[in-house]
Structure 1
Amino acid sequence: ELQNNFHIIYEYHLKGCSFLFYPLFIFLLLAYMFIFVANVGIVVLIWTDRSLHQPMYLLFCNLSVNDMMGNSLLVPRVLADILVPPSERHIHYYECVMQAFTAHMFGTNAHTVLMIMAFDRYVAICNPLRYSTVMTDKMVIKLTVSAWGVAFVLVGILLGLTIRLNRCRTLINVFINNIYGLTFTVVLLLSSVGSIILTYSKITEACLTSKSKSLNSKALKTCSTHLCLYLIMFISGLVPIILHRFPQYAEYRKVSAILFNVVPGSLNPVIYGLQSQEIHKSLIVKVFFPK
């Protein structure tokens, strides 16, 4: 199913949406500006404030970088195409491939990064005494490299299988591509959902057996935020996959594919920033009491 995003993006640039161009342009422009400023601000704040140099925040930086990457290549191009007539909307094949690679990396990274963030929460709540020895700087680096590396390899193979096809034919055999794309999607979703269910089952068990109110309060705050981010990403990504099964809703599928980038990218820094007291304090100090 992830392979279908390639065709969604390509189809959009060739045909385009046919309704409400200018309101959509204003909405996407404002959303992109907010995504860029908010995520850059979060990353800069975390890296410049030593009190925020904790695994939980450092791992979240991966999500902000992923949101900026996914939106920065897609949204500006969509904004540019909205301003020209549909007949003049063209895209070079190699630019389309780059967009497909970025779109797939964005979707895959969203899962892998949230998976390593779930592991961090599991260690923090279920093994608090070992947290500092397990979640070292080296472990944070290993988790980050693993999240991006796995996504890069999976997407690289997928795009490699697509690029190898000869486009100058009346019939293109994509059997291998479909098999790999389906396997890719199933493995990614099962790993993602499975890790979240397993992690939160262990966390729930730890909270129920623990008599510490501080532990339960910490678990509720951090885990509710993480779970909220995951559900937003999962639902917004599931909608275009479902709509792909209904050709009569092609226009809605195009819009939902764009919103899959915009919605999580806009809400992630807001939800995470509003929940974290440490980020609140650091932001207030940086803005109102700069040195």
Structure 2
Amino acid sequence: MEKANSTLGTQFILSTFSDLHKYQTVLFVVFLFILVITVLGNLTILVLTCSDSQLQSPMYFFLGNLSFVDICMTLVTVPQMLKNFLLELHGRVISFEGCIAQVYFFLKFANVEDFLLAVMAYDRYIAICDPLHYVVVMHKRLRIRFIVGCWLLSTANAVLHAGLTSRLSYCQSNFLNHFLCDMVPLFKIACSDISINQLVIFTEGSIVVAGPFILIVVSYIFIMRAIFKIRSAEGRRKVFSTCSSHLIVVTFYFGTILFTYFRPPSSFSQTKNWVASLMYTIFAPMFNPFIYSLRNKDVQQAAQRFLTKNKPV
């Protein structure tokens, strides 16, 4: 690490919506509510998919893993925000090591979600396009391999980007105009060359994001073809309903990621960047369990069985 990191770079100040200083208490309450709802909602999905005998299919196995990742993502970002809302701007500090750790874990969980959504799209493809072999193809060992692969690839990607970010010098400013330590705001205050970091984002990073996204698109092309071959409108509706929740989550999640990281610097807007980052880091994990539960009768019935089984006498 360069010497510059031993001065201003030893800690950073996160703005965390400091421009809205009159509403810090309100923001604290709002994001505390989001944290509680997100953890409870995803924990509910996780408990149901693990305990209910009728939710032991591959689809719900992956859904349970998605809920676990969403909990992790929220715990990486929101607690730091809540602490900062209670402090004056000069007190909203995070150490250099803590900042790089947040970059690492944030990228890790975000990438796991990327790959997991692609795996879930493949699962829906097999279920709709080859239903007779679904159970045989999506056997337990394959599902476990998929999950292990998601975590290994995501860890490698996070290590690469966090390592490259940690090598930068921050000798001009230690003020991060963001609510979390992320690569984009760190690049803006770096005084060393960031061309390697940007090159890796637009090459390796594009593959990590575009790879799962392309797999999802291809899967849904085949899914749509299979749906259009169904003659009855009711049959098409029933089949489409099995993947509509996943399609909504994918559109919401990947749309904001692509907007945040893969657009030209000339179009950068801090406000737009904040909004996009909030969407996929905080609001997406909160909405996911509701999207899947409100549009899924199996999850609703499992919740009813769980409540009936654990109802106090």
Structure 2-normalised TM-score? 0.82
Residue 105 (structure 2) pairs with residue 102 (structure 1):
yes
Check whether the contact 1:16–1:86 (CA below 8 A) recurs between aligned residues: no
Which runs of structure 2 are paired with 1:136-285 in the superposition (5 Å)? Answer: 136-167=139-170, 171-211=191-231, 216-241=236-261, 245-246=266-267, 249-285=269-305
Mapped to 2, the partners of 1:237 and 1:178 lie a distance apart of 16
Query: Paired residue for 2:30?
Result: 27
Cα offset, 1:144, TM superposition: 0.9
Q: Which runs of 4+ in 1 moved over 6 A?
A: none
- Name 1:18's counterpart in structure 2: 19
CA 235–64 in structure 1, closer or farther in 2 if over 3 Å, else same: same
Residue 71 (structure 1) aligned with residue 74 (structure 2): yes
Q: Is the 8 A contact 1:236 1:263 kept in 2?
A: no
In structure 2, what is the Cα distance between the partners aligned to 1:149 and 1:14?
33
**Structure 1 unaligned blocks of 5 or more:** 1-9
Q: Tell me the alpha carbon deviations over residues 205-249 of structure 1, each in whole angstroms, 9 at most, x when there is no partner.
A: 1222344777634421122111001011123334434596555x4
Structure 2 Cα separation of the partners of residues 124 and 12 of structure 1: 49
Whole-angstrom CA distance in 1 between matches of 2:128 and 2:16: 50
Q: 1:150 & 1:51 partners in 2: Cα distance? A: 31
Matching residue of 1:6: none
Is the CA contact 1:125–1:215 (under 8 Å) kept in the aligned structure 2?
no
Change (3 A) 1:100 1:206: same
Matching residue's letter, 1:265: P
Q: Indicate if the aligned counterparts of 1:124 and 1:131 stay in contact, CA closer than 8 A.
A: yes
Q: 1:134 to 1:175 in 2, by over 3 A?
A: same
Cα distance, 1:236–1:42 mapped onto 2, change above 3 Å: same
CA contact (8 A) 2:13 2:89 kept: no
- Mapped to 1, the partners of 2:247 and 2:238 lie a distance apart of 14
Q: CA deviation at 1:263?
A: 1.1
Spell out, residue by residue over 1:30-81, the C-alpha distance to the aligned partner (whole angstroms, 9 max, x if none): 0110000111111011111122111000101121111111110210111100
- SS of corresponding position for 1:40: helix
Provide the secondary structure at the position in 2 that maps to 1:23: helix
Amino acid at match of 1:157: L
Give 1:278 shift. Answer: 1.5
Offset of residue 277 of structure 1: 1.4
CA distance in 1, matches of 2:64, 2:16: 36
Identify the match of residue 44 of structure 1 among 44, 47, 51: 47
More displaced 10-residue stretch of structure 1: 174-183 or 27-36: 174-183
Matches of 2:17 and 2:266, distance apart in 1? 19
Q: Secondary structure at the match of 2:87?
A: coil
Cα separation, 1, equivalents of 2:278 and 2:81: 9
Distance 1:214 1:134 in 2: 27
What is the deviation of 1:275?
1.7
Query: Alpha-carbon deviation of 1:173?
Result: 2.3
Which structure has greater helix proportion?
1
CA drift of 1:123 comes to 0.5
Q: Deviations over 1:143-187 (max 9, x none)?
A: 111122211111211112222345569841222222111113321
2-side partners of 1:73 and 1:190: how far apart?
A: 24
**Distance of 1:11 and 1:253 partners within structure 2:** 19
